Amino acid sequence: MKQLIVLVLILASHQIFAADTLHVISHKAITVTTEPSSGTKSFTSWVVFPSKDEKLRKINLNITFGCPDGMRCADWDYLDHIYIRRKGGVNGPALNYEIGRMLTPYGGAFGKTWSFKWQADITDFSMLLRDSVEIEYIHTGYEPNNDRGWKVTVDFELVKGKPVLEPVAIHQVYNKVFAYGDGSKPFEDSLKAFSFTAGKKSQHARIFIYQTGHGMDANGCGEFCSRYREVWYNGRMIDKRDIWKKCGDNPLYPQAGTWVIDRAYWCPGELNQPDIYDVPVKGGSQNVVDINMQPYITDKPSANELITAYIVEYSSPLQTNDVAIEDIFAPTDKQVHGRKNPASINPTIVIRNNGSKPLTKVDIRYGTIGFAEKQFTWRGNLAFNGKAVVTLPGAVEGKTGQNTFRVTLLSPGGRKDAVMDDNSMSTVFTRVPVHGKALVLNLRTNNQPEHNDYYIRNAEGKVVYERKPGTLKANTDYRDTLLLQPGAYELLLTDTAGDGLEFWFNNKGGRGICRLLDDKGNLLKNFESDFGNFIHYGFEVNADSTLHTSPASLPAVGVYPTRSAGKTTLDYFGNKAGKVVVKIVTDPGDTVVEEHVYNDLKEAVFNYDMSYRPPQRYYVKVYVGGELVFNKRLRIEAKR
């Protein structure tokens, strides 16, 4: 039995709590590959958690993916699970509790040094994550396992301190794959209501649900169709929502596959977040939980709903006035918040009411360490366990490089907080780029400009420049000169269709670009065209040229289309002329089928014709100075 318990200050995760934190690592940088013969592969590990007498305030599940040593990252969006299999030793009873659900990304274009970290709150399993526990990571899928996979770390982050609630009991309600749309297997006959008798000490309960839709019938169900779900408790509907998720906001982008397409409550490259409902109970009472799905029948069913649900019984909340800082969305270097960072204006935090009394106000002190602290009073009405996203006024200050931003919550409801340990949080962040006052925004539209618009606003929220919806023309090169006063700004470019300026699956849309240049024409920032819903760019304008961010060191490179009968175009724009090598390689095999060497290349467009090659997948790789700077999948299809 291997014990991995590490006491750390959480600098590595870019987030620092006031309370002591333990890390229990069940799987440390293990190589995870498929088992094509069965489609499922298991990775188990015994670890030791704190004893039941140790008070725990919070438990986060952290999952980190990277590319394995000597292999490339895997290709497909497969469904993985994290289970508690047993506790109390090898002779302990089987539990088989799913505590995490991971949807793997389309990783074919990720570089060797790529990695990404996700997090989910699993505090509701605190009574099980004690002493010796067997943790199982299950990877599914059928892709080749000899040259691709994932490097996976499973890290349990345990924050010591007084619990918000004392757990009394936990019940597994569902843990099954439910056929959806099959008239011979009615959904409601399988997903039956669940009854439980509350313990004598129970005064509160929490319904905890993981759900994702999979499979593909003629209507796109269950992966690509939206259907509603109802949650009932003791004869009363407490929630009704569409089991549907917008994927164009995914912080892990771009990916190689259809990552922007919305799905049935999941997206490629994410750690699934559970739905949680707090409900009242009385000790010894009989209670019923029932989950219903929108009625649906189809002739050739193949849809499945994967539903895991629990009821956790608790005592009543232990404190009356208790507020906590849950997260800092901006500014931060945390990858899951990368869509809105680096941030130049409006720090954004998440607060939670852990007290039994509704939270109507809280004082907030915030700012970058080394700069003047600011104050703000939030007002609202949060019930117990309710969360609120709070946008704070003003610019984000910082020095060049990394900084520390700190937030402290005070006087919830005008009273003293009963538990101060989680009232403060700090996060490490990188200062936004600094530019001169004269900038050029170069936007070249694609075939569908009606989907796009952009604006630039300052720290006061005033829009200082914009291209409104409906004003852009197709395949047009816009070069807007911006003369900005010193201060903090943010640029937001949106796409209402959710597929950016480029998406390989949408050939009709074509490809557009967005670049920020200085007044001499140097590339400052090349924005990824395959961006999904939006591009956010925070920056600062300063008259002091010694503070200005250097022009981009990497070139802007694009290939389009990436799905054709053979013809494709590569465009290249760099700040300096140099030797550039373009290689087109097979996948699988990584065999070079074409190599082009360009000396003293600074800007050009090249046309390639791969129609002589057999239909299959390839990768276009661009090297500058021997360094791989671009890697894009190219699919050659048979001529029709």
Provide the CATH topology of domain 434-547.
Immunoglobulin-like (2.60.40)
The Cα 319–Cα 163 span in angstroms is: 10
Q: Looking at residues 595-604, what average pLDDT do you find? A: 96
Q: What is the average pLDDT across 312-316? A: 96
Residues 6+ away with beta carbon under 8 Å from 232: 193, 238, 288, 289, 290, 291, 292
Helix and strand numbers, DSSP H then E, in the chain: 1, 42
Q: What is the reported pLDDT for 13?
A: 40
| 556-636 is classed CATH 2.60.40.10 | yes
Which residues share a beta bridge with 466?
Answer: 455
317-429 classified as CATH 2.30.40.10: no
pLDDT tens digit sequence for 42-64? 999 999 999 999 999 999 999 99
Give the mean model confidence (pLDDT) for residues 277-297: 97
Greatest distance between any 2 Cα atoms in the chain: 80
Two structure tokens written together for 492: 């937001």
pLDDT of 1 reads 40
Higher-confidence position of 8 and 546: 546
Query: If we measure between CA atoms, which residue out of 239, 255, 236, 237 comes closest to residue 247?
Result: 255
CATH number belonging to the domain at 167-312, selected among 3.40.710.10, 2.60.120.230, 3.10.20.30, 3.90.700.10: 2.60.120.230
Report the share of the chain in percent with pLDDT over 90: 94
d(CA 186, CA 189): 5
pLDDT band, residue 4 (cuts 50/70/90): very low
Per-residue pLDDT for 129 more than 70?
yes
Model confidence over 467-499: pLDDT tens digits?
999 999 999 999 999 999 999 999 999 999 999
Question: Which residue intervals of the chain bear CATH 2.60.120.230?
Answer: 1-164, 167-312
Average the pLDDT over 259-283 and give the result. 97
pLDDT for residue 12: 38
Place of tokens 């800092």: 328
- Chain region(s) in the chain for CATH 2.60.40.10: 317-429, 556-636
Q: Give mean pLDDT, residues 615-620.
A: 94
CATH of domain 1-164: 2.60.120.230
* Tens-digit pLDDT profile for residues 225-252: 999 999 999 999 999 999 999 999 999 9
Residue 5's pLDDT is 39
Q: Per DSSP, what are the bridge partners of residue 440?
A: 481, 517
Is residue 14 scored above 60 in pLDDT? no
Write the pLDDT tens digit of every residue in 140-193: 999 999 999 999 999 999 999 999 999 999 999 999 999 999 999 999 899 999
The chain-wide mean pLDDT, for the chain, equals 95
Check: pTM over 0.75? Answer yes or no: yes
- pLDDT score, position 351: 98
The yes-or-no verdict on residue 388 having pLDDT over 80 is: yes
pLDDT score recorded for residue 589: 87
